[in-house]
Chain A
Amino acid sequence: MTVVVWIADDTWQDCVDAASAQPGEFLLLHVSDVAGAAHAAFAGLLGRHASRDPGTRLDHLATDHAAQLLDAAAERLGRPCAKEARVGRVEHEVVAAAQNASLLILCRDGDVSHAGPRSLGPATRFVVDHAPCPVLLVWPS
């Protein structure tokens, strides 16, 4: 069974550290979701030539960034692992990637000093609510 580790841009170190205490195989997962906004903004500039679409540049930048982040996470984990970079709606992609997982590790976001409702971001909240496997919610250090 696989332990899926969600590598978020800002809190991945804590997830990887929590993962290293777990037995099993690992899948490091990164999801990118911003190129669509640039494509959409460019579509708003009616009539400009498609070669200038910044979304295409953002697609490439996001791909490189995901690869670098996953490499850094694999190095920090220091154990054999698979890596997967997905593009799309973050919460849906994470839930889909965890379909056959034995554990999903993710980090809480938002203001950690804030107790009470809405302390998680919408995507993280969705994943916690809909994950098809046990979830380990790590607090950022």
Chain B
Amino acid sequence: MSEPSNSSPVPGHVGRTAGRTQVRRASRRGPVSGASRRGAVSEASRRGAVSGASRRGPVSGASRRGAVSEGFWRGPVRLAAATLLAVATIGGCTDSDPAERGATARADARPAAAVTGPLCSALPSGTDPGNPASLTDEPGDVALRWIPVLTRFEAAVRAADLSAELRDPNGVTILAPTDDAFAKKFSEDNLDDLMIKQKNELRTLLRAHLVAGSYSLADLVAKGRVTTLDGTSVTITRADPMARIGDHTETVCADYQVAGGRIHLLNGVLGNLPTTADANGDPAH
């Protein structure tokens, strides 16, 4: 059986395809540096990445919130611009499309509040990519991509098509359960089902973690009660130095300041869905 026809052994052979522009852009914004960028484009085209990106309906349709969205590339772009090992800062980037940044981009120039909580020390800090100061100008949905323990929540936002609600011009507070919290709440099968097939339920679940307006942890505690976007009223009480959200959930790293909002990380999942996780329910390899 011969190799697929697009596996030309001739390096540098350029196959021109319809979606080339998109990958050219992706490559430009990727970590591939300097003179080699053009090559990456050509090669990516040849390998079919381009046509893949452009032809696949669901992905391109979802691209503004999906894996290949422009916003997704914003971080790595800067890294490509800087030298690989000496990234002084990843905040303060100004090269991205203003339209993508939304109305919140011109928001406050307040200095970034320090994040607080027991989990914060495990998250990017100092000058590391994704450090809190670097996220202050990012919309909420983009900032989520830089907080490593929020991969479930971040992917769920994309799956539920809720990025716009995380960019509400009037501000939004994001109560984001960690990956561990998701694992304690849902079986893998259940979560896959929500992500892939039960998108209305997923959307409601996520809205149970969003509050209109941008509130610091101290603000939330002072309010004592908030109504989440799914319409549920949730009590908030002080649990030094953190806050308890509802009856069973606490913040574990709070006060990420993002464009027009705040992100507080939770150790539990809010909302009304039943718990399906099973401690011995590892679905296995």
Asked if A pairs with B, the answer is: no
Q: Which residues of A are in contact with B by a Cβ distance under 8 Å?
A: none
